[in-house]
Chain A
Amino acid sequence: MAEVSGPIVQIEEVAHSFGSTVALNGVSFEVEAGEVLGLLGPNGAGKTTMINVLSTLLVPDRGRALVAGHDVVAQASSVRELIALTGQFAALDDVLTGRENLILFGRLRSLSKRHATRRAEELLERFSLVDAADKRVGSYSGGMRRRLDIAASLVVATPVLFLDEPTTGLDPRSRAELWQVVRALRDDGLTIILTTQYLEEADQLSERIVVLNHGRVVAEGSPDELKQLAGGQACVVMPVDLGQLEECASALAPFGTPVVDRDIGSVTVPDAGPGALSSIIAHLEGIDLTDISLRRPTLEEVFLQITDLPDGP
C-alpha cells in the first residue's frame, strides 16, 4: 500500500435528503491516512447515510466526497478498488459456510481460486473462526457473524475500511473481541471510519471523533479535546440527605445545567467553569455534604450536552 500523506478521505458540504427528511445537512470533515475516525451520533443522526455516500451506494444531493483523491460519484469504480464496507446488516450468504463466503468474496475481488482459498484460511485463523469454518453462516452467533462480515471486507487489503455500527447488538464479550479486531487493523495501518452510538466505543477505538446530530457535525476532535469542549471541569456534589438533591440542583443552576443522579445521590454540573468551586460552596450553604469534587466530564456528559442543543454549538 502506497504511503499517502495528508487526508485520504475528504468530505465537503455533503447534503442529502430522503423526501422531506434531511439526513445530511452540509457535512464536512477529513480523515488522515492511517487514522481511526469515530463517527458518533444517536439513532437517525445520518451516520449510515454518510457511510453510504462514501462507499458509492448513494449519490448525495449536494457537496462532494473524495477517497484518495477520487470522487465517489464521478470516479466510483476507482473508489471501489480502495474501499471495503462492513454495513449495518451482515452482508453474507446464510446458506454458504463461513469458508465458502470468504472464498466467494475473494474470487469476486478477482483472486484465483487457490489464492482465495489460502486467504480464507488466514482470515478464519485470524478471526478465530476455524472451528466454525465449515458450518453454515445461518447457524452463527451474532458475534461470529460480525467477525466473518469484517473478515469478508478484508479478503483483499484495501486502504480504507468503513464499519457501520460494528458492535450494535453484541454481548459485552463479543464486543470486546471486536474491539481487539479493530485495534489490530489500526496497527496494520488501515484507515478506518467507524460509526457508533456508544461513546465508550468511540473513546476506546478512535483517534478522532466527529459527532453528528440531525445531519450536521456538532463537534469534532480527539476524545480528550471533546471532553474539554464542555469547558473543562465538572463539579459533583453529594448531599447527606437525599431529600435535598433537588435543593442542591436549584442552588447549582446558575453554574450550568445540573444533572441529578438519584442512584448515586449526586448532582453534577458538567461545565462548572474554571474557579467555580468556591462560589459553588457558598451557594450550597445550609446543605450538609458528604462530598464535593471537581473532575473532568465523561464523554457521555459531553455528548448529552452537545446533542441536546437543537442545532449544534
Chain B
Amino acid sequence: MSAGVRSLVRHGPVFAERAFKRFIRSPSNVVSTAGFPLLLLLTLLAVFSHAVEGVEDGPYAQRLVPMLVVSGLMFGSVSTAVGFFTDLSQGYMERIRTMPVSAAGPLLGAVLGEIGRAAMALAVLVAVGHGFEFRFDNGIGPAIGFFLVAMLASVSIVWIGLAMAAVARSQEALGPPLGALFLLLLFLSRGMVPVDAYPGWAQPIVRFNPATAYVTAMDRLARGGELVTPILGSLAWSAGIIAAFGWIAVRSVRRPR
C-alpha cells in the first residue's frame, strides 16, 4: 500500500467527520437537500398529478419521489462544491498539502459526507411521499436496493461539482452554471413525465441521461419492473462520472510532485 493510500485509510474518517459537521451546521444545506425538494414535491403534485395521472397508471408521487431525491442530491452538492472551492482558494488545502497527509483526503471526506445528504433526502421525501401514496410495492430487498441506488447517485454526482470547483476561477462562475446543468439533467430525465410524453427529438436525450438511469432504477425497485438495464445503467454512469470528473478533481489537489 502506498503512503497516500495508507493516509487515506487512516485519515479518511477524520475528513469525513469534518464534512459531516459542515453539512449539519449549514442551514442552506438542509434547505437545498430536503426543504426545496419537499416544496417541489408538494407543488408539482398539486399542479401536475391530475394531468400526469391522465397519461399513466399509478400515483404521480411514485414517479416524483425518486426524481426529487436525485434533485436534492444534485442541488445539495452545489454547496459541497462551493465549500471545496473555498478550501482550494483560502489556504486550507495549502496547509493540508504541507502536512504528511494524503492531499486527496478532503475530497474523500466530501464524498463520504454526501452519504449523509442522501440519507436526509431519502428520509424526508420517502416519509412525506408516503402520504401521497408513494409505496415500496416490491418487497424489502428492492426497497433496500432503492436506498443503495440513492447512495450510489450521491457519491457519484458530487464529483461533477468537485471537478468544476477545481477549474472555476470564482465562486460566481461555479454555483449558477452547476445549478443550470443540474436543472437540465433533471428536467430532461424521465422523472417528471414518461419518456414518450417528450417530443420525439428530446427522447434520445432523456434516455441518455444519468438522472434518468438513477430515477428509473429507483422507480422500478419501488414499483417493480425490469431491473437489469437501469441498474447496469446506473453503475455505468457512476463509473463514468467518477472516472472523468474524479480525475479532474484529484488532479487539482495533487502536489507539484
Contacts and interface: CB of A to CB of B under 8 A. Distances in A.
Instruction: Consider the complex of A and B and state whether they touch directly, i.e. have CB atoms less than 8 Å apart.
Output: yes
Interface of A: 55-59, 73, 76-77, 80-81, 83-85, 87-93, 95-96, 100, 104-105, 107-110, 136, 152-153
Contacts of B18: 93, 96, 104
29 contacts: A56-B98, A57-B97, A57-B256, A73-B257, A77-B3, A80-B100, A81-B100, A83-B98, A84-B99, A87-B91, A87-B94, A88-B91, A90-B90, A91-B91, A91-B92, A91-B94, A92-B91, A92-B92, A95-B21, A95-B26, A104-B14, A104-B17, A104-B18, A105-B95, A105-B99, A108-B14, A108-B96, A108-B101, A110-B11
Contacts of A83: 98
A90 B94 CA distance: 10
A84 B26 contact: no
Nearest to B257: A59
B99 to A, nearest CB: 6
Contacts of A90: 90-91
B255 interface: yes
Contacts of B105: 108
Interface string B157-186: 000000000000000000000000000000
A232 B97 CA distance: 45
A81 B7 CA distance: 13
A73 B10 CA distance: 24
A215 to B, nearest CB: 19
Contact of B90 (A73, A91, A100, A108): A91
B255 A56 contact: yes
B95 A85 contact: yes
B22 A93 contact: yes
Interface residues of B, number: 25
Nearest to B23: A95
Given A91-B90, A91-B92, A93-B92, A56 B97 contact: yes
B22 A76 contact: no
Nearest to A136: B25
A107 B101 CA distance: 10
Listed residue (B97, B100, B255) with the most chain A CB atoms within 10 angstroms of its CB: B100
Interface in B21-47: 21-22, 25-26
B228 to A, nearest CB: 42
B100 A77 contact: yes
Contact of A57 (B25, B100, B255): B255
A91 B92 CA distance: 4
A153 B21 CA distance: 22
A85 B98 contact: yes
Contacts of B96: 108
Contacts of A81: 100
Contact of A109 (B21, B92, B99): B99
A100 B19 CA distance: 12
Nearest to B17: A104
A205 B25 CA distance: 40
Interface string B97-116: 11111000100000000000
Contacts of A88: 91
Given A95-B21, A108-B11, A108-B105, A55 B256 contact: no
B98 A80 contact: yes
Contacts of B25: 95, 136
